[in-house]
């Protein structure tokens, strides 16, 4: 085999690899679930990480509402900060393999939600009008509703 043939084979393998990675980056490791949501297939440890993160988001919403109800603006802002983009950065090492398995729309929704927590924390610290803050939280929790209505996390072994 000459070097020209080896070069063509190498380029072909590179293209197939790039297309495969692109496919998984966009669609992730998914299937259609029985309830017509998109099932995202993760290992047990990956699933646990995602579910733990979701519980942290709900805990933050509760902390924000409690803080605002008590006029504890700093406490409410800290609750929001706890799950902003700083959390994403702290989990970056753990989530690298998960990111390839998540569909792009799920990633957009997730990153947008974390960014929204940061934006709301800044508005809370400025002590914006409570109705404005509630409107922001309404928009934030719509992301939660949209995510849970569209996706479910299944174990790799549960693929159908």
Q: Which residues contact 29 (CB under 8 A, 6 or more apart)?
A: 40, 41, 42, 100, 101, 156
pLDDT, the chain, mean = 88
Quickly tell me which residue has 């998109």 as its tokens: 38
What pLDDT is recorded for position 78? Answer: 98
Closest residue by Cα to residue 37 from 160, 157, 151, 156: 151
Residue 68 predicted with pLDDT over 50: yes
Q: Which residues contact 138 (CB under 8 A, 6 or more apart)?
A: none
Token pair belonging to 69: 């109800």
What pLDDT is recorded for position 28? Answer: 63
pLDDT single digits (tens) 96-109: 778 888 899 999 99
Query: Structure pTM?
Result: 0.80
CB atoms near residue 151 (< 10 Å) = 22
């Amino acid at each position: 085999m000459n070097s020209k043939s080896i070069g063509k084979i190498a380029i072909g393998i590179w293209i197939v690899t790039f297309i495969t990675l692109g496919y998984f980056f966009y669609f992730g490791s998914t299937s259609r679930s029985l309830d017509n949501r998109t099932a995202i297939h993760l290992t047990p440890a990956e699933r646990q990480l995602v579910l733990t993160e979701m519980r942290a988001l709900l805990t933050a919403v509760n902390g924000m509402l409690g803080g605002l109800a008590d006029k504890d603006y700093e406490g409410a802002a800290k609750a929001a900060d706890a799950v902003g983009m700083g959390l994403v950065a702290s989990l970056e090492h753990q989530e690298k393999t998960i990111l390839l398995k998540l569909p792009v729309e799920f990633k957009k929704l997730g990153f947008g939600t974390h960014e929204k927590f940061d934006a709301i924390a800044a508005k809370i610290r400025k002590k914006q009008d409570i109705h404005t803050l509630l409107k922001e939280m309404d928009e934030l929790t719509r992301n939660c509703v949209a995510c849970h209505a569209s996706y479910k996390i299944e174990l790799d072994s549960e693929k159908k």
